[in-house]
Amino acid sequence: MRPFSPEVTVQVVQTAVTIGIIYIFLFLIIRIINRAVSDVKSRYKARQATFYTAHFIILLILAAIWMENVRNLGVVIGAVGAGLTLALQEVILSFAGWLLIVFRKPFDTGDRIEFGKVKGDVIDIRIFQTSLLEIGNWVKADQSTGRIVHLPNSTIFREPVFNYSRGFEFIWNEISVVVTFESNWERAREIMLEQAQEESEKIKDRVNALIRKMSMRYLIYYQKLTPIVYTKIIDSGVELTLRYLIDVKKRRTTEDAIARGILQAFHKEPGIDFAYTTYRIVRIPPETCRAETGEAGP
C-alpha cells in the first residue's frame, strides 16, 4: 500500500484537529444554552442553529485545507459519484426534503400535522428525518399516545402534509345526538347551540383575526364561524349534529365541556328524551303460522 505524502498527512491531521476542536466548542455551547435558556422552543431553536453553524464552519475550513488537492478530489468523486447516487438515493432525497422543510416551511416544530399517514406534534426536524409525538391511533380525540415516530424527510415528496396549526389553528368539530320523535327537538337544538356558543365566545376574537390574516395570503373566506346545528330524520328519531370551531389542541377538553353541558341541560327538560335503536321480538302463535302456510291442524 502506497503511504500518504507528508503534505496529505498534514492535511489529515489538520482535519482531525479542526473537527475535534469545533465539536468540543459545540458541546460546550449547547450545555450553556440548555442552562441559560428556559423557554423550551427557544432552547431548541438555539441548539439547532448552533449545530448547523458548527458544521458549516467545519465545511469551510475543510475546503480551505484540501483546496490544493481539489483536482484529485474531483477525480475520486467522479469515479464513485454514480454508484453513491444510486445507493444513497433515499438519503439524498431526505436531504432535499429537509431543504424544502427548512426554507419553504410547510411545518415547523410545535405544529400539529399529519405527515406520511401519521398524526402528531412536530418535536424535532433534522437533516434526514422529522420526529413527531404521535396523537390519535388507538387514542381518541387527537390526544397523545406517548410514542415518538421518526419519518424520513423524503416522505414530503410522496405524501401530502396536513398542517393543523399553521395559519389557522382551529378546526371544525361535530357532536351528534339523537332524540325521539316525540321529544321537543327544537328546544334540544337551542340547548346545543347555547352550550357551543359559550365555548365559541372564548375564541371569537382570535378566530376573526386569523381569518383576516389568512385572507391576505390565500383565497379563503368563511361566511359563518359561529356554531350551527343540523337536523336530520333517521330511523330511530331526530338526529341533531352540532358543528363548531375549536382550538386544534383542545378538541377533547372542549368536546367534554360541551357534552357535559348538553347532558345536564337535557336532564332538566322533561320533554327531551334520547332515542336509540330498538329491536322487537314478536311471537306468532302456531295456528297462525299453519293458517298462513296452508297446513292442516293436528
Quick one: which of 173, 226, 224 has its CA closest to 201?
A: 226
Please list the pLDDT of the chain residue by residue as tens digits (298 residues). 455 566 667 777 878 888 888 888 888 888 888 888 888 778 887 887 888 888 888 888 877 776 655 555 554 455 445 555 655 678 888 888 999 998 888 998 888 999 888 899 999 998 889 999 998 888 877 788 889 999 999 899 988 899 887 767 888 899 999 999 999 999 999 999 999 988 888 888 888 788 777 777 776 666 678 899 999 998 888 999 999 988 888 888 889 999 999 999 999 988 898 887 766 676 777 666 555 555 555 5
Residue-level pLDDT at 236: 84
Cell 439547532 sits on residue: 48
pTM of the model: 0.63
**Cβ neighbours for 252, distance < 8 A, ≥ 6 positions apart:** 140, 141, 142, 143
Architecture of the CATH domain 170-268? 2-Layer Sandwich (3.30)
CB 101 within 8 A of CB 156: yes
Helices (H), the chain: 6-36, 40-65, 70-87, 89-104, 185-215, 251-268, 286-293
CB 156 within 8 A of CB 97: yes
Q: Please give the order of strands across the beta sheet that includes 228-234.
A: 170-179, 237-247, 228-234
**Cβ neighbours for 180, distance < 8 A, ≥ 6 positions apart:** 237, 238, 273, 274, 275
Residue 166 has which C-alpha cell? 399553521
Cell 475535534 sits on residue: 20
Residue-level pLDDT at 228: 92
Residue-level pLDDT at 242: 94
Quick one: which of 193, 68, 191, 45 has its CA closest to 123?
A: 45
The domain segmentation of the chain, as residue ranges, is 6-87, 102-163, 170-268
Just give the CATH number of 102-163.
Answer: 2.30.30.60
Residue-level pLDDT at 144: 85
